[in-house]
Structures are given as C-alpha cells and as structure tokens.
Amino acid sequence: MAREKDKAVQAVDISSLLKMKKKGQKITMLTAYDTPTARMLDDAGIDVLLVGDSAANVVLGYKDTLPVTMDEMIHHTKAVSRGVKRAMVLGDMPFMSYNISHEDAVRNAGRFIKEGGAQAVKLEGGAHVVDTVERLFRAGIPVVGHLGLTPQTAGMQGGYRVQGKTAATAARIVEDALKLQEAGAFMLILECVPDRVGEHVSKALEIPVVGIGAGPGCDGQVLVFHDMVGIGTGFSPKFVRRYANLGQEIVEAASRYKQDVQQGSFPAKEHCFTIKDSEFELLVKKR
Ligand code: KIV
C-alpha cells in the first residue's frame, strides 16, 4: 500500500490519535473519495481521511447515502489509500453491510482493511451496534463509532435534524458513547448535537471524539471535503465553513475553455506538435 512506500513519514495510527487527545491537540479529518484529493489532503497534513458513505450523494449521484454498495466503497477506499503516505484511511461501512449478522459485519469490515487498504472502519449507531463493535474488535479490526445524527437511519430520527437537545436524549448519547468505548471503539464521530453536548461527551470519554456540527469542544473536527471547498449541490449545512469556492471556479474555467475552443484561440502554437517541412511536403505530394 502507498503508506509503506515512504518509511520516513510517521503514519497516523490509533496511539497517535489517543496521544493527540491527551495533549489537547485537535484531530483533523476530511472525507476523500479519490487518489488526487487524498494526495492533496495528506500533503496538507490532515490526520484522518474518511472514505465516507457520503460518496453516495457527493460523488456518485445517489439522492442519499443508502444505495451505495460495499463494492463501490471498496473501489473508493482503494483509490484513497493509493494517495496517502501519512493520514489514517477510515472506511465507512455502508447501510446493511453490518446490520444483518456479525459474520457479515466482520467479512465486510475485513474487506475495507484487506482490499481497501484502510486502517479502520466506521459504523453508525448506539446500543444496538455495541455487539457488532465488540465482534469487530475481537477480529482485530479497529472501529470508529458514529452517534448523534446518523444519516443511514435519519428517517427514524425524524429527518436530518439536531440530536440531543433535551437532557434525556443527550444522556442517551453519552450512555451509547460509553458503551461503544467499552466495546472497543477507538474513536467516535459525533454529528449534529448542541455544542455543549459535544464538549460534554468528549470530556466523558477517554477515546477521541471528532465532531461535525458538534461544536469546538470536541477533540477534533470532520467535514465533507466537497462542502468545505464549495463543490456540490448549493445546500450548505449550518456547521460548514467554506474555505474555497472551487465549484464556481470550475464552471468559470470550463466556460472559458469552451469560448477559447469555439473562437479558435485554443489550442495555440505552444500546445501543438510539429512535423519537418520536408516530411509534410512529401505527405501533401502523396495525395
Ligand atoms: O459519510 C460521511 O461523510 C460521514 C461524515 C458526515 C462524518 O459519515
């Protein structure tokens, strides 16, 4: 795998992430679905690249995350692994890849590691997935939990909405988080909860808590790369900060290219290959 090529680079692993939490150094995570993006984010020093099931709606054109398959996720995970020297690659288990049986969950999670080159897998859910997390842990597969808003079961949560807004629902998140930690999860992603709940959960756990829409008190932050650089649907969740407007730049670049081609200013002399006059004359005479 790409990570082994450069022995001089200290790859991010579970113990380095735990150390970061202990030292109060914030963990950075972004989604990536392809090799060039993985390379750029790795060069930027991002600690964890999440091959999110958000690939479904962000780059594959599905309307939500549910239809993406194991084979599609492995394809994208392989591409990301090939671009990385330092970052941890985290494969996101798609809907129904860990919900049917423990055997199925272990087999599918194992594919992310063996075929995809990921170092860990992520799955969504609280108390009801604790047994699965334990089985994966016993199989030697590092697991990251995902609580708060869980997009694969957003329908059961009343849609894409903030979770843990009451003492009772927030307490349930804390309980679930502790159970996941106990079952062997080495990190937790916490999505769309009030900032004080994000901080409270992070303080309650020994493992790092990486937030998305969970406030600055978490041990790290994750965003969907395309949201962060302004490529995509136009809808931007409240928790996103846009660091670039690449979508608009790409549209402008493609429009200029179209105009140049139509007006004949591209390709110019410097983009052309040449043939000797003598050869060209021979060619013309032949006709
Ligand atoms: O799939 C994904 O991109 C995610 C993030 C929202 C954390 O799970």
Coil, strand or helix at 139 = coil
Domain residues for 275? Answer: 249-286
- Looking at the structure, do residues 206 and 261 belong to the same domain, yes or no? no
- Looking at the structure, do residues 230 and 258 belong to the same domain, yes or no? no
- Looking at the structure, do residues 54 and 188 belong to the same domain, yes or no? yes
22 CA distance to ligand 1 centroid (A)? 24
- Looking at the structure, do residues 254 and 217 belong to the same domain, yes or no? no
CA 85, 90, 91: angle at the middle one, nearest 5?
A: 125
Q: What is the CATH number of the domain that holds 234?
A: 3.20.20.60
Number of structural domains in the chain: 2
Is 191 marked active-site? yes
pTM, two decimals, is 0.95
- Looking at the structure, do residues 276 and 180 belong to the same domain, yes or no? no
Reported as type and span, the H/E element at residue 48 is strand 48-51
124 lines ligand 1 (CB under 6 A): no
pLDDT in tens, 9-21: 899 999 999 999 9
267 CA distance to ligand 1 centroid (A)? 41
- Looking at the structure, do residues 179 and 264 belong to the same domain, yes or no? no
189 lines ligand 1 (CB under 6 A): yes
186 CA distance to ligand 1 centroid (A)? 17
Peptide bond into 267 cis (omega under 30): yes
- Looking at the structure, do residues 167 and 258 belong to the same domain, yes or no? no
pLDDT tens, the chain, 287 aa long: 555 656 678 999 999 999 999 999 999 999 999 999 999 999 999 999 999 999 999 999 999 999 999 999 999 999 999 999 999 999 999 999 999 999 999 999 999 999 999 999 999 999 999 999 999 999 999 999 999 999 999 888 888 999 999 999 999 999 999 999 999 999 999 999 999 999 999 999 999 999 999 999 999 999 999 999 999 867 889 999 999 999 999 999 999 999 999 999 999 999 999 999 999 999 999 86
Q: Given the structure tokens 């996103």, which residue do they identify?
A: 240
224 lines ligand 1 (CB under 6 A): yes
Question: Helix H segments across the chain?
Answer: 2-5, 14-23, 35-43, 55-58, 70-82, 102-114, 130-138, 167-183, 195-204, 225-228, 246-263, 277-286
- Looking at the structure, do residues 280 and 207 belong to the same domain, yes or no? no
- Looking at the structure, do residues 179 and 267 belong to the same domain, yes or no? no
* Structure token digits, residue 275: 């043939």
- Looking at the structure, do residues 86 and 209 belong to the same domain, yes or no? yes
- Looking at the structure, do residues 236 and 276 belong to the same domain, yes or no? no
pLDDT of residue 238: 94
The number of CA neighbours under 13 Å toward the Cβ of 150 is 20
- Looking at the structure, do residues 175 and 279 belong to the same domain, yes or no? no
pLDDT in tens, 39-50: 999 999 999 999
Coil, strand or helix at 108 = helix
